Structures are given as structure tokens and as C-alpha cells.
Amino acid sequence: MGRIAIVTDSSAGIPEELVRASDLHIVPIGVQIDHKPFKDGVDLRKEEFYAKLDSGNVSTSQPAPGDFIEVYQRLAQKAKEIISIHVTSVGSGTVNTANLVKEMISVPISVVDSKTASMAQGFIALAAAKAAQLGKTREEILEAVEQVRERTAVFVAVPTLKYLAKSGRISSVQSLLAGVLSIKPILGVKDGLVDVVAKVRSYPKALQRLISLVEERFPEGVTNIAVLHANALKEAEEFKELIAQRFEPINIFIAEMSASLAVHGGQGMLGIAVCDSPLVGSLLAPSG
């Protein structure tokens, strides 16, 4: 571990091999299933989560203060400083919890609102971890975080509005109307807010729209792409092939969305997180 340790939360959905290679440290998001607490990525089996998503009472919460304390105190034994990068604060209390807990820790902690989610947040955390491995100062790492954040985006196609309605993100009336019209929404993040950025009339068209949104956002192409999925690996692999043909990125890999995000969109979601920053270009991405 270097002088500065980098922390993020499990909603980023960073593949485990990248977490290990980058020496990242993860604080788990809380998931409640039938009022029983679990920790995303720790004691929650994927099979149980998706089985209960349809039949049970499932919700999420920001990490418990104790989970932050556990990670921070462990890192404070070796690192001189900590930079903690988290899911957008719009709609989540994770950043606030981190800010409260940092006052209890013996080393300086800089808490960063990524203003995004999923692997867009992941790319930012990975860039910070890479900079820390290179021995950069806190100011240099925070500058890199800002640069990468400006050159990162995420778009997700939602096959059904059932879970968005169930989680309270949209009304049941909106969900019913969209279902009748076969509308498939595409979610994106702007200024920290997760919102609908496009609506199409079929899921195949939604996937094509994902690609065009990336092309519109990055007309000169992108170097790093994470193909996102919610328990839909086969579909993600097929989507990855299509994306690779359109963009020819340096790094392209598959990442499974965290349970804390799948709660709101359900099984079968596919998405794209992209980053065109050269600060991320040399990351060793998994093959898929």
C-alpha cells in the first residue's frame, strides 16, 4: 500500500480483478431483504438476491458508519492519507456518512462525490488508485479525479419499469402506461442526478440508442468501455461484440451491476460506462 489509500463503495461494481490490481478498498452498500440486512458484495449471494427481488421486500441503504470505520481504521494503520470516492450524493447518503465518519479517524480523509454511479464511478476510483500507485500527491490525485469525472459517462437500458415503480423511482401509473406502450427507458447521470435520458419502443432499439448516446457524448471515440449487466452475462457478451465493432476501444470489459443498482432496474439491464481520459488508458482490463 502506498502513502495514500483509495476507497470507494460497492455501487461502483468494479470487477474484482481490477480491485485487486489497483489496490482499491471497497465499503459495502447495505441491502435489506425482507428486513434482514446484507452487505453488497460481502454476504449477499447473487442467486438469493435476484430470487427475492421479485418475491420479497428488497431495498438499499448507504453503508453503515461501522463499515466505513472498519475500512478507514484498517487503512490508517499503514497509509498517511485516504481519498474516499463515492456514488452520487443526489439520492444517496453515502457521501454524508463518509464525511461524518472521517472525523473519527487519525489520518486525513478527503471525501469525493463522484456525481455519478456504476462503472462511471468505478473509472474515477480506478484513476485515483492508479495515481496513488504512481506516488502522486493528494492534490494531484484529486486533480486527476476531476479530469476523469469530466470525461466519463454511463447509460443503462431498463427492460421493464416494474422495479423502478417498486422502488419508488417512478409512479405505478407511469409504469403501467409505459408498459402498455412498450416504452423502454434509458437512464443516464447528469449533474449527479440519475434520470431518464431517452425512451424507445423496444429493447433492441434501446441497445442501439445506448451506442448512439455514447457516440453523441464522445464523437471522437472512447478508449475505455465497461459493458454493464444485471444477471445477464450472455446478453452482455453479445452486446460487447457489437460495441467493440463500433468503437474499437483500447480496453473493453464486462462488469456486473451491483445489487444496490439492480434493485432499481431489475434483472436483465444492460448498459455502457465509458471513459476517454488518457489517465485511465493503461489500466489492465480483464478480458471479459
DSSP letter for each residue of 80-126: SEEEEEES-STT--HHHHHHHHGGGSSS-EEEEE-SS-HHHHHHHHH
Q: What whole-number distance in Å separates Cα of residue 262 and Cα of residue 268?
A: 9
Q: What whole-number distance in Å separates Cα of residue 52 and Cα of residue 142?
A: 39
Confidence band of 172 (pLDDT split at 50, 70, 90): very low
Q: What whole-number distance in Å separates Cα of residue 24 and Cα of residue 22?
A: 5
Q: For the segment 48-79, what is each residue's pLDDT rounded down to a tens digit?
A: 888 888 877 888 888 999 999 999 999 999 99
Q: Is the C-alpha dihedral spanning 183, 235, 194, 27 positive or negative?
A: positive
* Residue 18 CB-half CA count within 13 A: 30
Q: What whole-number distance in Å separates Cα of residue 42 and Cα of residue 70?
A: 14
In this prediction, residue 284 carries a pLDDT of 45
Domain boundaries, the chain: 4-150, 152-275
What is 152-275's CATH number? 3.30.1180.10
Q: What are phi and psi of 109, to 5 degrees?
A: -130, 125
Mean pLDDT across the stretch 136-158?
Answer: 95
CATH architecture label of 4-150: 3-Layer(aba) Sandwich (3.40)
pTM of the model: 0.91
Mean pLDDT across the stretch 208-218?
Answer: 95
Q: Residue 175 pLDDT > 70, yes or no?
A: no
Q: What whole-number distance in Å separates Cα of residue 160 and Cα of residue 178?
A: 9
Yes or no: say if 228 and 272 are a contact pair by the CB < 8 Å rule: yes
Confidence band of 127 (pLDDT split at 50, 70, 90): very high
